[in-house]
Structure 1
Amino acid sequence: MVPKTHELFSHTAQQVAEAVISNYSTSFGLATRLLGPTHRHHIRNIYALVRIADEIVDGLAAEAGLDAGEQRELLDNFAAATRSALRFGISDNLVIHAFAQTARTTGITFDLIEPFFASMRADLGAASESLAPVRGLLADEHRDYVYGSAEVVGLMCLNVFLNDQVRTPAEVEALEFGARQLGAAFQNINFLRDLADDSVRLHRSYLTTESRLSDSDKTAWVIIIREQLAHAQATFSLLPKDARTAVRSAAALFAALNDRIAVTPVDRLYQERVRIPNAVKARLASQAILATAREGRT
């Protein structure tokens, strides 16, 4: 039997989203494989959309020869196509189509999507000033950027996890706080990991008002990130069981990254990216599986 046009198109879109996460992130790719089948494809669809938008502002458009105005136009067109897909449930862009299917199924709305694209536009603004000295973010600018670029992504994922679930208002409030804290921790760790690329190639400084972090600045951020991870971890048991292992695994990986950054001098962070060996990733995933399994026996 030949599949219906929409079914075949949506299936193809899902395959594209899976290819995006497989090619761009071994860590998140591993974590999504630990999700239950109900959630797995939705999380991949979210990742694919935010990854492609991030690629547009992180060099894809510039390397294709687009000037600052053309880069903004490309991003604006991508954002407009996303809005349209949420309204109509379809897009001729396979990544956007996959995301729209997830958004309409799980209740992801414009109040989460618009802050995300606002943060992406902020990155384009920084890139357009590539000949000027690197300007760091003020505290409120950092807060707004992290909310749009990372915390709302955590909230989108939470929408997926809680779809068709029953939780009390207090539990939902706690889970939303945990999702935002986890997203912020992930983003701040990535800022520390990417100091070299952000400062030299992308001309950005996210973690200080200065152009360069000091060792004491780095230590302060390591402490903040540990607190954010702790807040998030306190809510993991409220997640559906088929989501806990994946979330725990991702959180453990980023905690391990943060620990490595803690003992790495800032000068070295400005030269190379801290990584976790695959064997350690596998061990952390196994520990996450065991932690969730123990909850099932108690």
Structure 2
Amino acid sequence: MTDRELDAAGISDPALRADYAHCRRLNARHGRTYFLATRLLPAARRPAVHALYGFARHADDIVDDLGADAGPEDRAAALDALHRRLTAQLRGEPTAEPVVRALADTAARYAVDPALFTDFMAAMRDDLTVTDYPHYAELRRYMHGSAAVIGLQMLPVLGTVVPRAEAAPYAADLGVAFQLTNFLRDVGEDLDRGRVYLPADLLAAHGVDRDLLEWSRRTGRRDAAITAALIAAARLTREVYARAAPGIDLLEPVSRPCVRTAFVLYGAILDAVADDGYAVLHRRAVVGRGRRAAVAARGLTAAVLARLAHRDACGPPPPAPHRPRPSSTAGGAR
């Protein structure tokens, strides 16, 4: 399946094919919902999504899983080094890192704005020092780099039937909605890492603070005030989904089943959290396999019909980008 995707995308260089295959494995291993939805895209577009996911996952692993002995300074240095390698690769100076090479190739093929990667890396650095957010506006500022830009990176790959700028706000909102969903699902795990992503003012409106969250996590005891705050967070998240939803119809028809499936599956996580009584401080809510399979089956049917009706939309893959030869005098602008 990987070879078919790479062939369809016009990726022939053996080393680059290996880079993309590495990113695909990261997506399959760590992004179950994301990977499932990606399978509904035309084969030619899937490697680009794997590359975008693979780089984001790699940066996230530096923040959270670099090693028990790695302190904030080590993680910051590793993030900075990753960003330097990406900047070099984007301007044609080869590096040795698969996720960087695949991402730079995707960025060139689909004309992804490099500033989106800079904003993403800035948000990753925030995670090293910022442990909570006083209000939603501050959280939203962080999520511009950690989530909204992911939607904006995806937009050139998905394609639009309107000018890209018209679809961009919806793509950004969808990225934010997905991340808010993850924040709610992972409250307990994030607390173990010393972070609270739910805005402090939302929690305070229901009489909740970090100390109460930590007490509940530590003791395993439930608290009605915490449940009320989590319900409010879910309501806020659904409002963002509602704002993002009209953007799906602005995408190219062959991309809509993928995004609509992701939309439904991530929304199902909110349903699972509610069905489990908002016990996210104590266990992770999981969407059942039957629900996932049913949603995926509907998405696959829609994807096949869209490809049959819009063969031209799949079109030939973007041409391989022209890569300038490395130069020792290349500019150093970030």
Pick the TM interval, shorter chain. Answer: 0.7 to 0.9
Question: Is 2:40–2:303's contact at 8 Å kept on the other side of the alignment?
Answer: no
Find the partner of 2:247 among 219, 235, 248.
235
Partner Cα separation in structure 1 for residue 44 and residue 304 of structure 2: 18
CA deviation string 1:92-112 (max 9, x = no partner): 101110000001111112221
- 1:158 and 2:155 matched: yes
Partner Cα separation in structure 2 for residue 39 and residue 158 of structure 1: 11
Q: Which amino acid aligns with 1:204?
A: R
Alignment correspondent of 2:197: 206
Alignment correspondent of 2:13: 7
Question: Is 1:136–1:204's contact at 8 Å kept on the other side of the alignment?
Answer: no
CA deviation string 1:154-204 (max 9, x = no partner): 000002122xx6x444xx34421211111011000000111111001x100
Q: Which structure ranks higher in relative contact order (CA pairs < 8 Å, sequence separation ≥ 6)? A: 2
- What SS is found at the alignment partner of 1:214? helix
Q: What is the CA RMSD across the aligned residues, in angstroms?
A: 2.2
Question: Is 2:89–2:100's contact at 8 Å kept on the other side of the alignment?
Answer: yes
More helix by share: 1
Alignment correspondent of 1:61: 66
Question: Is 1:39–1:243's contact at 8 Å kept on the other side of the alignment?
Answer: no
Q: Which amino acid aligns with 2:245?
A: Q
Deviation at 1:290, TM superposition (A): 4.2
- What SS is found at the alignment partner of 1:112? helix
Partner Cα separation in structure 1 for residue 291 and residue 277 of structure 2: 22
Partner Cα separation in structure 1 for residue 52 and residue 96 of structure 2: 17
Partner Cα separation in structure 1 for residue 91 and residue 106 of structure 2: 13
Alignment correspondent of 1:26: 32
Deviation at 1:265, TM superposition (A): 3.5
- 1:221 and 2:236 matched: no
Bigger radius of gyration among the two: 2
Partner Cα separation in structure 1 for residue 304 and residue 242 of structure 2: 21
Alignment correspondent of 2:288: 277
Q: Which amino acid aligns with 2:95?
A: S
Alignment correspondent of 2:332: none
Alignment correspondent of 1:87: 91
Deviation at 1:214, TM superposition (A): 2.4
CA deviation string 1:219-244 (max 9, x = no partner): 22212222222222222122112211
- 1:197 and 2:203 matched: no
Deviation at 1:91, TM superposition (A): 2.5
- 1:186 and 2:178 matched: yes
The verdict on how the C-alpha distance between 1:137 and 1:45 changes in structure 2, with shifts beyond 3 A counting, is farther
CA deviation string 1:21-69 (max 9, x = no partner): 11112221211111112211100100000011011101x2242x22221
Question: Is 1:62–1:71's contact at 8 Å kept on the other side of the alignment?
Answer: no
- What SS is found at the alignment partner of 2:41? coil
Deviation at 1:293, TM superposition (A): 6.3
The verdict on how the C-alpha distance between 1:52 and 1:84 changes in structure 2, with shifts beyond 3 A counting, is same
Q: Which moved more, 1:11-20 or 1:109-118?
A: 109-118
